[in-house]
Amino acid sequence: MPCRLLFLGLAVWFTVPAWAGDAEAADLRLRIGSGELLRYSWQINSSSESSGRELGKPFTLTSSSVFSMTLVLKGLPRKGDAIPVTIRLQDLTYNDKRSIGPESRIELNVSKGRIKYTENDKVVVDSENDIGLDRIADYQRHIKSVETGEMRSTLDATGRQSEVQGESALVETIKNQAQAIFPILAGKEVKVGESWQDELKMPNLGDFKLAKPAVVRSKMTFAKWEVKDGRRLAQIELASAWEKQDLKGENTEGLLVEITKVNGCSTGTCLFDPATGQFVEGAIDVVIQYRIDGERDGQATGLDVSGKTAFKFTRKTDP
């Protein structure tokens, strides 16, 4: 998912003469005070359609999912320029629908620790009614570990994280899902209209772990000041593109594939409040297409994938 998770921004007004107008600068460096608690509501809507052949038979796979959570960051006492924080995920909900043609449909719902899974509208797992619990024991433990676990990380002035430690299930979730939500900050003072760039390496693509990371290059621009609800907010615009390269991957079943014709891009806008140093809201849209070729049971299999993801986040002010 090519966007960055764990990004919070500081934009402090730079005092200049009134005639400066749109040239007024902002200090776009991350700041989280010791003991400061930040809570963000996240929602990611994804959909994809894939068509191809497996074991000599054509098929079409469609999927759609909605993932939401509350991301909680707490600032720790600083050591030098580093910004240590704790990270927790709360209020996890997940809905995933998949179908292979009209004859095979599955749906998974996870909410408040409850799990329900259906195949062709038949209930296979329902944790509330003690149905199929033996099939999801490991999954339940994983969810509980993610929701109750805590992770520690160190951030720099741009929002990049390092020294990740904590509950293994949460760390893996953050690494696989949460490094690509917010754009990286400039880490310095910039004026309206100025841009900066960043490069993100993606270790996974869909269900496949890549032999060599995919590369996503982004350009961020301090576009303008915007007044909303009586607050003067800085608007940052994002444009990203995947490097056009052939990739190799492997899934959990050991299937080796070649991934070609990779074509992905994303655009988005984020707002943050210079007076508080935190982001207020944002939205990022991602589209990607690629081709997967592999071999299963001695027969070639191929798949053309087309996907879309819409991400939104909002700062929460409730306790």
Mean of per-residue pLDDT scores for the chain: 83
Q: Rounded to whole angstroms, how far apart are CA atoms 67 and 43?
A: 6
**6 domain-assigned:** no
Q: Rounded to whole angstroms, how far apart are CA atoms 196 and 99?
A: 41
Instruction: Give residue 19's identity as a one-letter amino acid code.
Output: W
Q: Which of 295, 256, 288, 305 is nearest to 51 (CA)?
A: 305
If you average pLDDT over residues 228-253, what whole number do you get?
Answer: 92
pLDDT value of position 20: 36
The domain total for the chain is 1
Q: Rounded to whole angstroms, how far apart are CA atoms 281 and 234?
A: 11
**1 domain-assigned:** no
The domain of 75 spans: 11-316
- The answer for 119, left when phi > 0, alpha when psi is -120 to 50, beta otherwise, is beta
If you average pLDDT over residues 182-193, what whole number do you get?
Answer: 85
Instruction: Give residue 263's identity as a one-letter amino acid code.
Output: N
pLDDT in tens, 172-187: 766 654 454 567 888 8
**22 domain-assigned:** yes
**5 domain-assigned:** no
pLDDT in tens, 274-286: 777 778 899 999 9
Of residues 34 and 177, more confidently modeled: 34
- pLDDT class for 160, splitting at 50, 70, 90? confident
pLDDT value of position 174: 66
Phi and psi angles of residue 86, each rounded to the nearest 5 degrees, phi first:
-105, 150
Q: Rounded to whole angstroms, how far apart are CA atoms 105 and 120?
A: 5
Q: Which of 205, 158, 201, 165 is nearest to 182 (CA)?
A: 158
Q: Which of 75, 70, 111 is nearest to 89 (CA)?
A: 70
pLDDT(99) > 80: yes
Residues in the chain: 319
**56 domain-assigned:** yes
**4 domain-assigned:** no
pLDDT(120) > 90: yes
pLDDT value of position 131: 87
Q: Rounded to whole angstroms, how far apart are CA atoms 69 and 42?
A: 5
**294 domain-assigned:** yes
Token pair, residue 54, equals 């497996």
**78 domain-assigned:** yes
Phi and psi angles of residue 289, each rounded to the nearest 5 degrees, phi first:
-135, 145
pLDDT value of position 259: 95
